[in-house]
Structure 1
Amino acid sequence: MGAAMRRIQAGNALSAFGLGFTVPYLYIYVASVRGLGSFWAGIVLGVFALAALVALLFTGRVIDRRGPLPVLVGAAVTAAVGALCLGLANNLVTVLGSAALLGAGTAVMQPALATMIVWCSGPTSRTRAFAMQFFLQNLGLGIGGLFGGQIVDESRPASFTLLFAIEAGMFLVLAVIALSVKLPRNAAIADARPKGGKGGSGFRAVLGHRAMLQLCVLGFVLFFACYGQFESGLAAYGTEAAGIDPSALGFALAANTAVIVVAQFLVLRFVERRRRSRVIASVGLIWTVAWLFAGYAGLGHGSQTMATAAFVSTYALFGLGEAMLSPTVAPLVADLAPESMVGQYNSAFALVKQMALALGPFVGGPMGATLHGPYIVTFILFSLGITVLALRLGKKLTPAQDQPMLAAPSRVVAVHKSEQVGAAV
C-alpha cells in the first residue's frame, strides 16, 4: 500500500474500533441507563437509521463535486459531536438529536472512505484494498466491543459516557488522519464505464445503468438476508425455536468474526482469479447451507449441544461468505461507475445497504420469533435468489468488470498527479 492508502486504512480501523465500543450497548443505554424504556429505545434506533438514509440521499453528489476528503472530515466531526452529546444526554430530545447526528455521520463515512480507496488504488489492487478495509473493520469492531464490554456497567451511567467519549475521540482521530492524506486521482479505465446507459446525473444516472441497477437489487438481497438478520430474526429464531442460551449468541457472533479474520486473505487469491459474478453466486449457495444448518438447529429435534453447534456454524458460514464478498462487491461498484460519479455510485449502494439493514429486522424479527419453519424457508429462497441474481448480473458485465485480473494488461490507464487533485479538492 502507498502512504495515502495506509493512512486511509488506519483511519478506517480506528473508526471501527470506536463504533465497536458503543454499537452493542446503544439499546441498553437508552432503555435502561437513561430510563426511557424499550419503546423509546426502538424509536432512537429508528431515528439513527432514518438519519443515515436521508444523509445518503445527498452524499454522492457532494462527494463528486467537492471530493471525498472534505466529506469524510465533515462526517467524522458530525459523528464525533453526536457520540459525545449522546453520552451526555439526559432527556429524550437530546438523545434523539444526538442519535440523528451519529447516524448521519457514520453513514456518510462509508461512501467517502470507499471513494478514497478507489482513488488510491488501481484496477488490480482494488480487490485487495477493499478486502483489507473489510478485515480491519471487523477486527476494529470486535476489539472495540471486547474492550467496551470490560468498561460498561449498567449501574454506572458514567461508564457509558466514557464509551461514547472514546468513540468520539476515534472519529476525531479519523478526521485528523484524513486531513493528512494526499489523494492521487483514480485510474480512468475506459472499458469499465457504463455501456448503453442513459444520460443524466445523480440517482437518475444510476437507475439508467442496468448493470448497476441489477447490482443494487442483488446488494439489497445480500444485506437483507444476512446482516439484516444477525441481531434480530436469526437471534430470535435461535432463542425461541432452537432454545439457544443467550450467551451462545455471543459465541456465534465471535465465530462469525473469527472466520472473517482468518479466512479473509486465504480466500482472496481464490476470489481474485475468478469471475466476480460467480463468486457472488457461490456465496448464495454457501448461505443456503448456512440456513439449512439453522433449520436443523431449530427444527431438527436433536440434542441441545448439536443444536448449539449447528447454530454457531450458521454464523461461521455467513462469515465465510462475507469474506468472499468484501473483495468482490465494493470494487465492482467502483468499476461500474464513470470516473466522475464514483461517489454517487458508492452512495447509492450504501443507501441500498442501509435500507436492507433497516427492513431486515422489521421483517425477520417477528418471523424468527414465531414462524420458525416459514422463516427458514424464506431465507433459503433468498439465498438461492442471490445465486440466480448474480449469474444474471454476470451477463451484463464486461470482461474487465467481471474478471479484472485477466483484463488488466489491456487497460489504458491515465495517471493524474496528486497535486491536481489537491487543487481540485
Structure 2
Amino acid sequence: MGAALRRIQVGSALSAFGLGFTVPYLYVYVAQVRDLGAGTAGVVLAVFAMAALAVLPFTGRAIDRRGPMPVLILAAAVAAVGAAALGVSGDVTTTVLSAAVLGAGTAVMQPALATMLVWCSSASTRTRAFAMQFFLQNLGLGIGGLFGGLIVDTDDPSSFTLLFLIEAVMFVVLGVVAGTVRMPRTHSIADARPTDGTAPKAGLRVLLSHRAMVQLCVLGFVLFFACYGQFESGLAAYGTEAAGIEPSTLGIALAANTAVIVAAQFVVLRLVERRRRSRVIAWVGVIWAFAWIVAGYAGLGHGSQTMATAAMISTYALFGLGESMLSPTVAPLVADLAPESMVGQYNSAFALCKQLALAVGPAVGGPMGATLHGPYIVTFVLFSLGITVLALRLGRRLTPVQDRPSLAPVQSRVVAVSLPTTEPAAAPATPAAAH
C-alpha cells in the first residue's frame, strides 16, 4: 500500500476501535446506567439509525463536489461531539439528540472512507484495499469491545463516560489522520475530482437508470437484511428463546464471528480475488443458507443444550466466513460500476441501502425470532438463497473485467467504461464496455 492508503486504513481501524468501546453497551448505558428505561433505549437506537438515513442522501453529492477528505473530517468532528455529549447526557432529550448527532457523523464516514480508498487504489489493487479495511475494522471493533468490557461498571456512570470520551478521541484522531493524507493524482482518478467546485452533471436519475447498480443495491439490501440486521435482534432473540442459550453466550458467538473474519480474511482473499465476483457472492448465499439451517437445528432440533449452544456459535462463525468473502467483492464492485464523477454518490447510495436494511432487519426479525421460530428460520433460509439468485443475475450485467478485476491491466480504471444503460452510444466501443 502507498502512504496515503496506509493512513486511511489506520484511521479507519482507530474509528472502529472507538465504536467497539460503546456500541455493545449503548442499550445498557441508556436503560440501566442512566436509568432512562428500555423504551428510551429503544428510541435512542432507532434515532441512531434514522439519523444515518437522513444524511446519507446528501452525502454522495457533497463528496463528489468537495472531495471525500473534507467530508470525512467534518463527519469525524460531528461524531466526536455526539460521542462526548452522549457520555455526559443524563436526560431523555440530550441523550436522544446526542445519539442523532453520533449516528449522522458515523454514517457519513462510511462512503467518505470508501471513496478515499477508491482514489488511492486501482482496479487491480482495490480488492485487497477493501479486504484490508474490513479486516482492520473488525479487528478494531473486537479489540474495542474487549477493552470496553474491562472498563464498564454498571454501578459507576463515570466508567461509561470514559468509554464515550475515548470514542470521541478516536474520531478526532481519524480526522487528524485524514487531514494528513496526500491524495495521489494518478490517471485512474483524475476525472473523479472536480477542480472547479461545481457539482457533477450526473445525478440520481443516472444512477437509477444504471441497471447493474440498481441490482447491486437490491442485492446489498438483502445481504444486510439477512445477516447484519439479525445479529443483535432476531438471531439473538431466537438463540435465547428457541435455543435456550445464555445471553452471555451471544458474546462468545459474536467473538467467534470476529475471530473467523480475522483468521480467514486473507486466506479467503487469495481464493476469491481471481474468481468472478458474482459467483463468490452467490456462494455467500449458499453458506448463509446453511448457517440458518444450523441455527434451525439449535432451536428446533432435539439435541442437548451443549449441542444447541455449539450450533448457535457455529451459525455466527459461518456468517463470518461469508462476510470475509463479501469484503473483497461487493464494496469494490460499487466503485467499479460508478462513472468517474459519481463515485461518492454510488458509495452513498449503497450505504443508504445498507442502512435501510439495518433499520428494517431488527423490526422484522426481532418479533419473528422471539415468537415464530420455525417461520423465522425458513424465511431467512429463503432470503439467503435469494442472495445466490440475485448475484447470478447481476453477473449477467457486468463486463468481464467488472466481474473479474484480475483481467484488468494494472493501470486501468474499470469505471471509465461502466456506463449506465441510458448513456449516449457515442462512447468508443470496446469489448470491455459491452454489457
> How far 1:187 sits from its partner (Å)?
5.1
1:267 equivalent to 2:268? Answer yes
Q: 1:314 to 1:68 in 2, by over 3 A?
A: same
Query: How many angstroms apart in 1 are the aligned matches of 2:223 and 2:186?
Result: 28
1:196 aligns with none
Q: 1:412 to 1:353 in 2, by over 3 A?
A: closer
1:381 aligns with 382
Q: Is the 8 A contact 1:400 1:408 kept in 2?
A: no
SS of the equivalent of 1:408 reads coil
Q: How does 1:322-401 map to 2 (within 5 A)?
A: 322-401=323-402
SS of the equivalent of 1:76 reads helix
1:222 equivalent to 2:233? Answer no
> How far 1:144 sits from its partner (Å)?
0.3
> How far 1:208 sits from its partner (Å)?
1.1
2:131 aligns with 131
SS of the equivalent of 1:45 reads helix
Query: How many angstroms apart in 2 are the aligned matches of 1:397 and 1:137?
Result: 28
> How far 1:336 sits from its partner (Å)?
0.1
Q: 1:179 to 1:409 in 2, by over 3 A?
A: closer
Instruction: String of CA shifts for 1:122-176, please: whole Å, max 9, x gaps.
Output: 1111000000000000000000000000100111010010000000000000000
Instruction: String of CA shifts for 1:186-212, please: whole Å, max 9, x gaps.
Output: 65499xxxxxxxx97332222111000
1:5 aligns with 5
Query: How many angstroms apart in 2 are the aligned matches of 1:223 and 1:186?
Result: 34
Instruction: String of CA shifts for 1:359-384, please: whole Å, max 9, x gaps.
Output: 10000000000000000000000000
Instruction: String of CA shifts for 1:216-272, please: whole Å, max 9, x gaps.
Output: 000000000000000100010011111111121111111100000000000101111
2:51 aligns with 51
The aligned amino acid for 1:240 is E
> How far 1:409 sits from its partner (Å)?
5.6
Q: Cα RMSD (Å) of the superposition? A: 1.7
Q: 1:290 to 1:186 in 2, by over 3 A?
A: farther
Query: How many angstroms apart in 1 are the aligned matches of 2:270 and 2:332?
Result: 15
Q: Is the 8 A contact 1:81 1:168 kept in 2?
A: yes
Q: Is the 8 A contact 1:399 1:407 kept in 2?
A: no
1:311 aligns with 312
Query: How many angstroms apart in 2 are the aligned matches of 1:185 and 1:30?
Result: 46
1:120 aligns with 120
Q: Is the 8 A contact 2:243 2:299 kept in 1?
A: yes
Q: Is the 8 A contact 2:53 2:352 kept in 1?
A: yes
SS of the equivalent of 1:264 reads helix
2:240 aligns with 239
1:299 aligns with 300
The aligned amino acid for 2:105 is G
The aligned amino acid for 1:235 is A
2:96 aligns with 96
Query: How many angstroms apart in 2 are the aligned matches of 1:378 and 1:38?
Result: 28
Q: 1:408 to 1:4 in 2, by over 3 A?
A: same
Figure out how many residues of one structure are paired with residues of the other and give that number. Answer: 407
Query: How many angstroms apart in 2 are the aligned matches of 1:256 and 1:248?
Result: 12
2:17 aligns with 17
1:73 aligns with 73
The aligned amino acid for 1:301 is H
The aligned amino acid for 1:102 is L
2:427 aligns with none
Instruction: String of CA shifts for 1:291-349, please: whole Å, max 9, x gaps.
Output: 01001101111111111111111000000000000010000000000111000000000
Q: Is the 8 A contact 1:122 1:186 kept in 2?
A: no
Query: How many angstroms apart in 2 are the aligned matches of 1:87 and 1:411?
Result: 47
Unpaired runs of 5+ in structure 1?
A: 191-198, 415-425
Query: How many angstroms apart in 2 are the aligned matches of 1:290 and 1:117?
Result: 31
Query: How many angstroms apart in 1 are the aligned matches of 2:64 and 2:413?
Result: 23
Query: How many angstroms apart in 2 are the aligned matches of 1:5 and 1:93?
Result: 40
Q: Is the 8 A contact 1:88 1:161 kept in 2?
A: yes
SS of the equivalent of 2:409 reads helix
Query: How many angstroms apart in 2 are the aligned matches of 1:305 and 1:344?
Result: 48
1:108 aligns with 108
Query: How many angstroms apart in 2 are the aligned matches of 1:129 and 1:324?
Result: 14
Query: How many angstroms apart in 1 are the aligned matches of 2:168 and 2:363?
Result: 29
> How far 1:33 sits from its partner (Å)?
1.3
Query: How many angstroms apart in 1 are the aligned matches of 2:361 and 2:166?
Result: 29
Normalising by structure 1, we get a TM-score of: 0.93
> How far 1:410 sits from its partner (Å)?
8.9
The aligned amino acid for 1:17 is F
